[in-house]
Amino acid sequence: MQGTREELLNEFTTWATNPAGPCVLWLSGLAGTGNIAQSFATRLAEAGIVVVSFFISRHAHHRSDLYGIIHTLASELGRVHPAARASILQAFERDPRIHELNLDKQVDQLLLQPLQAIACADSEANTVIVLDALDECDNPEGLVGDGCLAKIIPVLNESASLGKIKLFLTSRPLRAICAGMQPFKDRLGREVKLHEIPTTGDIRAYLKWNLGQIDRLSGISGRGHLDALVQRAGSFFIYAATVVRHITQDQYTPDERLADILNAHHTSVDNDSPYAGVDRLYLEVLSLFVGAGKHAKLTERVRRILSAIVLGREPMSIQMISDLLQIDLGAVRRIVAGMGAIWAVPSSDSDPIVLYHESFPDFIMDTVRCTDQRFVVISSIGHEYLSTRCLHILNQQLVRDICHVPLPAGQELPNRASIGDIEDRLARYVSPPLRYSSLHVLHHLVKVSVADCSDDIFENLRMFCQGKLLFWLELTCLLGPATLSRLVVQLARLPMEIMNQDRISECGVLLRQFAQALTAGIHAS
C-alpha cells in the first residue's frame, strides 16, 4: 500500500545519495524486508539513481544459485556502466568459457574487476547494489545461507570501500548471517533491524483501507475488531495482508471469515513468540480447508502438495504437481484454490504457484510453530517423497537418444552447442516432470536421512542405476554444461549412509565411479 514505510524509505534514499555516509546498509528482519527492498530499488530508479538489484529466492533455482547471482550482477553492471562492460568483455576475450570456470575465478573476473573499473572511472555518480534475502542463497558447494557471505559479499564490500558503490543488503537475523555480517558492519556500514521499528500505524491504515473496500463486510465497522486485528498483527505486515486475502476467499462470506479469524485461538501457539499472530492465522487457513475431523486421505494429500510447493527446486504449477506426484488434476486445483490466502492461485494450470511470503515455508516446516502436526512438512521426509517421485519418472520416461539427435561416428554423448534447435527438441521430447526430475533428483536425494527412506526409494534407485543412468547423463548433457557440473558435485554429496545400504550397495559403488569418471572428463576438457 502506497504511503506505508515512508519514513524508512526516505531514510534509505538519503543514505544512498550521501557520498560521505556508510558504504554498506544491512536491513534485517523477521519478515517484510523483501517488499521494502523492492520499493527502495524502484524509488532509486525513478529518481535517476543507478541501481543494480537481485532478489534471491530459495524456491527458484535461477534466483538462489550462486553462479546465477554472479552472472546476473555482472550482466546488470555491464548494462549500466561502460567501464564494467569493457572489463567483462575483456574477460570473455581472454577466456570465452569463463562462465564454466570455478567460483573464485568467476567472482574475481566478473564481479571484482568490473567493480574496480567502476571505481576508477571518471563518473562521480553512486551505484547502489541491492541484494535481497542473503539467507536464501544456495551454491554448488552445498553451503546454504552463507554462500553469498563467503563468496560475494567480501568482494562487494571491498569494492564499496573504494567509493562510488553503495551496498544495500537484506536478510533474516539468522545467527550465521549475523556472524558473517559483523566484519562489514563494524568497518563500513550499519544495521537497521526492521522488527524493532514500530509499524502499528502503517498496519492499521492498511487494514482499514483494504477491508473498507470489501463489499458485504459489516463486521469491520466496529473499532474493536480493527484494534484486535492490529494487535494480532504485531509488527508483521504479512499478517494484515493474509487477513485481507483470507476474508475475500469465495467459499464463505466476508463476515464469516472475519469471525473465524477473530475467534481463532489455537491455544497451543506460543504467545511469547514474535510469530504468534502469523502462526495462528496460517493454522486457521489450513484448518478451515481440511476441517476439524480426521480426513486422513485429504490431509495426507494436502501435506504432499505443501511439500512440493515449499521444497520444490522450482516454482510448481498445478499441472506439474499433478504429474509429478500423480495426484488427480482436479484435486490439486481444489486444494490450491482453497488456500488462496497463502499463495497466488494461478489462472492457468501451467502457471507457477507463487507464495505470498517466505514466512509460510518457515512456519510449515517448524514443528514448534506449526502446532497442528497434520500439516507439518518434515524436510527429510518431504525430500524422500520428492526423490522417490523423481526417480519413478526417470525410470518411466528416460530412453536412449530421447531428443533424436544423430551422433557423429565415435561420439558417445551429444554436444548441446552443436545442436541449433536444442530447445525446440527439449520442449518436444522432454516432459516438464522429466526435465524437473533430471535436474533436481539429486538435490532432493542429498537431503534425505536414511531413517526416512522407504522401500520405494531403494527400489526406484536400484532400477535407475541399473537401467537409466547413462540415459540420464545423455539428457543432462543436452540440458547444458552448468547442469552437468552441478550434477557431478551433487553426486559426490550423496549420503553414504544411504548408498552403503546392503540392498543398493552396488548402486552406491556405481554412482561413485560415475562421479569420478565425470569429474575426470570435465577436468580434461
Residues 137-153 pLDDT 10s: 765 444 444 556 667 77
Measure the CA angle with vertex 338, ends 336 and 342; round to 5°. Answer: 70
Of 16-25, 311-320, 490-499, the range with the lowest mean pLDDT is: 490-499
Answer yes or no: are the C-beta atoms of 80 and 117 closer than 8 Å. no
The CA distance from 480 to 234, in Å, is 47
Percent of the chain with pLDDT over 90: 28
Per-residue pLDDT tens digits for 64-80: 777 788 888 999 999 98
Domain boundaries, the chain: 6-196, 399-436+453-524
Please, which pLDDT band fits residue 218 given cuts at 50, 70 and 90?
Answer: low
Place of cell 471469515: 257
Q: Is 24 helix (H, G, I), strand (E, B) or coil?
A: strand
Of 98-112, 133-147, 274-288, 409-423, the range with the lowest mean pLDDT is: 133-147
Strands (E), 279-412: 343-344, 354-355
Which residues contact residue 136 at a Cβ distance below 8 angstroms, ignoring those fewer than 6 apart? 56, 57, 58, 64, 145, 358
Most confident listed range (257-266, 356-365, 389-398, 447-456): 389-398
The grid coordinates listed for 1 are: 500500500
Strand order in the sheet with 189-193: 50-55, 127-132, 165-171, 24-28, 189-193
Tell me what pLDDT residue 388 has. Answer: 97
Closest residue by Cα to residue 432 from 300, 318, 305, 284: 318
Q: Calculate helix-pair angle for 329-338, 296-311, nearest 10 degrees.
A: 80
The CA distance from 159 to 92, in Å, is 21
CATH homologous superfamily, domain 6-196: P-loop containing nucleotide triphosphate hydrolases (3.40.50.300)
The CA distance from 232 to 280, in Å, is 9
Of 396-400, 446-450, 517-521, the range with the lowest mean pLDDT is: 517-521
Q: What average pLDDT does the segment 448-461 reach?
A: 90
In the chain, the largest separation of any two C-alpha atoms, in whole Å, equals: 80
Whole-model pTM over 0.95: no
The CA distance from 120 to 83, in Å, is 9
Asked whether the predicted pLDDT for residue 520 surpasses 60, the reply is no
Asked whether the predicted pLDDT for residue 92 surpasses 80, the reply is yes
Tell me what pLDDT residue 77 has. Answer: 92
The grid coordinates listed for 85 are: 562492460
The CA distance from 241 to 258, in Å, is 13
What separation in angstroms does the CA of 437 have from each of 225, 400, 430, 464, 467?
48, 16, 11, 12, 16
Asked whether the predicted pLDDT for residue 248 surpasses 80, the reply is no
**H or E stretch covering 304:** helix 296-311
Q: Which amino acid is at 414?
A: P
**Residues in a beta bridge with 55:** 132
Q: What average pLDDT does the segment 204-213 reach?
A: 81
Tell me what pLDDT residue 33 has. Answer: 84
The grid coordinates listed for 151 are: 563468496
**Residues in a beta bridge with 128:** 51, 166
**H or E stretch covering 508:** helix 505-524
Which residues contact residue 290 at a Cβ distance below 8 angstroms, ignoring those fewer than 6 apart? 298, 299, 302, 374, 375
Tell me what pLDDT residue 89 has. Answer: 93
The CA distance from 318 to 444, in Å, is 20
Percent of the chain with pLDDT over 70: 82
Please, which pLDDT band fits residue 495 given cuts at 50, 70 and 90?
Answer: confident
At residue 237, φ and ψ (nearest 5 deg) are: -60, -30
Place of cell 541484494: 131
Check residues 137 and 3 and name the one with the higher pLDDT.
Answer: 137
The CA distance from 81 to 84, in Å, is 5
The grid coordinates listed for 52 are: 543494480
What separation in angstroms does the CA of 41 have from each of 16, 19, 46, 393?
11, 18, 9, 41
Closest residue by Cα to residue 149 from 66, 35, 45, 40: 66
The grid coordinates listed for 389 are: 517421485
The CA distance from 392 to 388, in Å, is 6
Tell me what pLDDT residue 141 has. Answer: 47
Measure the CA angle with vertex 361, ends 355 and 365; round to 5°. Answer: 155
